Chain A
Amino acid sequence: MDGNYGYNTSNQNTMAENNLLQQAIAAVRAGRELGARDMFLQIVEEYPQNELAWMWLIDLLDDLDDRIYACEQVLAINARNLNARHLLVRLQAEKLQQVEEQRIRADEQARYIRELVKERKLESALELARTLAQSNINHADVWRFLAQLSPDADEKIRSLEKLLELKPDDIQVKRDLQRLKHFQQNPMELAEMYEEQGNFEQAISVYGQVAANTKSKRQWNMIYWRIVKLENLLQENIARIPPSISVARLTGGPALLYLLLMLIQTGINPFAHPEPFLWFGFLLVLFGGFMIALASVRSRHRLWFILFKNVGGSGAPGARMLVASAGWCFVLLPHVMLVMIAYQRLVDSIRWISP
């Protein structure tokens, strides 16, 4: 940059300001660019309306965002500075290209993380996600992976908060964040969630953190045995059975017993001697069995939140006990009615037999 190209060199510039300016320009011409940059930065700090200093800084600054800022400052001082305007357009185009390249790079990296996760190379995936997060790549998938893979609750929460900044309308992210904050206060629930999902390594890690911080010997012992159990499961490579299958399986037991008793009571012919209540009772027992199974199998479902406002999503112990109790009522009531019907028939038989 040579001379003044339509710059607003106001006569109101002070002597000191001009001296500094001259020194800085001389430093640039002498090849001392770093020193010159510092001088120009000093000038704009003391004299923010010095258009010339800002113009020099556009060329001397390294960071693209800083250069764009300097252009904007020049145009704020003198909107007719065509050089600055052209430079700004060029820099903004460069910025867009940089952002696009960053986005493409981030997409590639996110794809790579996805591949690592598929291949169960979770440590590598987590490390890469962390590196990308630290380099300020604002890619939603990177933050999402970090939230999923990180064993640290604080890191998960930070990642979800970042993700929410990028996608403020994502309801799932809001719910996950709310749940994680709940788990931060209740780490045992978090460990139990990992256990239920089959993420035994993460469960062991969280249990370990809780054990390290607990003051209760009883809790420490309980956690110790849980960790031992999980380590044994990991070693033995036990398959993870989805909670829905466990719930469906355990629902059938009480209903089977009721069905057998009902068939025996009706002479294995409930259709020839229709007793609608008994069939209705079968549905009640089935429903009750389902509730008991739901309460006993730790599984995550939105219904726990809707019914009991349990943010963790798996039902607090009190809620589970309530559901189990209600389930037992539904199971036992038809059985009691069946016993009463059978007892009545027994009494009639005795009357019939007695003289």
Chain B
Amino acid sequence: MLPLNDTEPNRYSMFPIMTVLLIAVNSLVLAWELTLPAETLNAVFWLFGFTPSLMWSREGAGMISSITSVFLHGGIFHLVSNMLFLWVFGRRVEDACGPVRFLLYYLVAGTSADFITALVQPHEAIPGIGASGAIFGVMGAYLLLFPEGRIRALWIIYIIPTWPKIRAFWFVLYYLVIQIPPALDSFMNGVHYGIGYWAHIGGFVACIFIFLFLKPEAFARYMSNVAV
């Protein structure tokens, strides 16, 4: 099941400038990655991806890798799937925060994803890359701010594609729930899945901080139990 579009309009502004900029920057970074030879690309991932064991031993790029890892992707499919989620969920969250505060929140969610990964998997020596942690933070924020919101999703039942309007609440919950079993498995049994499930959960947990970034009007609407 993939999200296709948010069906509700923005309230405070018309154009999601920061969402578009983030998608553009991520795309440019991937385009740059694709021009690199494999060895160099590997070195880039090791230097600028986030490695928990290096964080604990105070080696490597430290906080720089925490930021740069959010903008690196492993391939076109990796990028497109992340950016699709960012496009669908990011616009309204940006609308409620304003572009600058949305960027700050995005970085907080991405950093929080790395933070939680480092806490849960301190010996992990493989660098983590991708915007999924930040995007799970955006999805969590969407869930908090727009629980009644509906999104258009692509759902392929056997081979038949359908695109129903689903309450975002169920959509986000579904994606959160499917992170938990492999995350617990990797934690308890040390299984490597090649996907940062704890980063996704860590980014999602950061959604409680969205209230530090909301516009005053949006916050007032939230506190009045009125649609943000």
Chain A residues with CB under 8 Å of chain B are: 236-241, 243, 246, 249-250, 252-254, 256-257, 260-268, 273, 297, 338-339, 341-343, 345-346, 349-350
Looking at the assembled complex, report how far the CB atom of A6 sits from the nearest CB atom of chain B, in whole angstroms.
79
18 A-B residue pairs with Cβ-Cβ distance under 8 Å, sorted by A, are A237-B224, A238-B217, A238-B221, A239-B220, A249-B212, A249-B214, A250-B213, A253-B101, A253-B105, A253-B108, A260-B111, A264-B63, A264-B114, A265-B62, A268-B118, A341-B62, A345-B59, A346-B62
Q: Are A264 and B211 neighbours in the complex by a CB distance under 8 Å?
A: no
With A236-B224, A241-B216, A264-B66 known as contacts, the answer to whether A253 contacts B104 (CB < 8 A) is yes
CB nearest neighbor in B for A198: B220
Q: Find A267's partner among B57, B105, B209 (CB 8 Å cutoff).
A: B57
Q: Find A264's partner among B101, B118, B224, B226 (CB 8 Å cutoff).
A: B118
With A253-B101, A257-B104 known as contacts, the answer to whether A239 contacts B224 (CB < 8 A) is yes
Q: Are A236 and B61 neighbours in the complex by a CB distance under 8 Å?
A: no
With A253-B212, A257-B104 known as contacts, the answer to whether A267 contacts B56 (CB < 8 A) is yes
CB nearest neighbor in A for B64: A342
Q: Which 6 pairs, one residue from A and one from B, show the smallest C-beta to C-beta distance? A: A261-B63, A342-B62, A346-B61, A265-B63, A253-B212, A265-B62
With A238-B224, A241-B220, A257-B108 known as contacts, the answer to whether A349 contacts B61 (CB < 8 A) is yes
Q: Find B112's partner among A237, A253, A260, A343 (CB 8 Å cutoff).
A: A260
Q: Does B219 belong to the interface (CB within 8 Å)?
A: yes
Alpha-carbon distance A253/B215, docked complex (angstroms): 12
Looking at the assembled complex, report how far the CB atom of B92 sits from the nearest CB atom of chain A, in whole angstroms.
18
Alpha-carbon distance A266/B67, docked complex (angstroms): 15
Taking CB atoms, residues of chain A closer than 8 Å to B60 are: 345-346, 349
Taking CB atoms, residues of chain B closer than 8 Å to A268 are: 55-56, 115, 118-119
Taking CB atoms, residues of chain B closer than 8 Å to A345 are: 58-62
Alpha-carbon distance A273/B107, docked complex (angstroms): 25
Taking CB atoms, residues of chain B closer than 8 Å to A266 are: 58
Alpha-carbon distance A254/B108, docked complex (angstroms): 9
Looking at the assembled complex, report how far the CB atom of B164 sits from the nearest CB atom of chain A, in whole angstroms.
29
* Interface hits, B29-78 → A, CB 8 Å: 47, 55-64, 66-67
Query: How many B residues are at the interface, by size bracket?
Result: 35 or more
Taking CB atoms, residues of chain A closer than 8 Å to B62 are: 264-265, 341-342, 345-346
Q: Find B226's partner among A238, A267, A342 (CB 8 Å cutoff).
A: A238
Taking CB atoms, residues of chain B closer than 8 Å to A341 are: 62
Taking CB atoms, residues of chain B closer than 8 Å to A338 are: 63
Taking CB atoms, residues of chain A closer than 8 Å to B56 are: 267-268
CB nearest neighbor in A for B214: A249
Q: Are B63 and A249 neighbours in the complex by a CB distance under 8 Å?
A: no
B142-179 vs A, CB cutoff 8 Å, 1 = contact: the mask equals: 00000000000000000000000000000000000000
Q: Does B223 belong to the interface (CB within 8 Å)?
A: yes
Alpha-carbon distance A237/B225, docked complex (angstroms): 10
Q: Are A261 and B111 neighbours in the complex by a CB distance under 8 Å?
A: yes
Alpha-carbon distance A263/B111, docked complex (angstroms): 10
Alpha-carbon distance A344/B86, docked complex (angstroms): 33
CB nearest neighbor in A for B226: A236
Q: Are B61 and A264 neighbours in the complex by a CB distance under 8 Å?
A: no
CB nearest neighbor in A for B50: A264
Taking CB atoms, residues of chain A closer than 8 Å to B104 are: 253-254, 257
Alpha-carbon distance A253/B209, docked complex (angstroms): 8
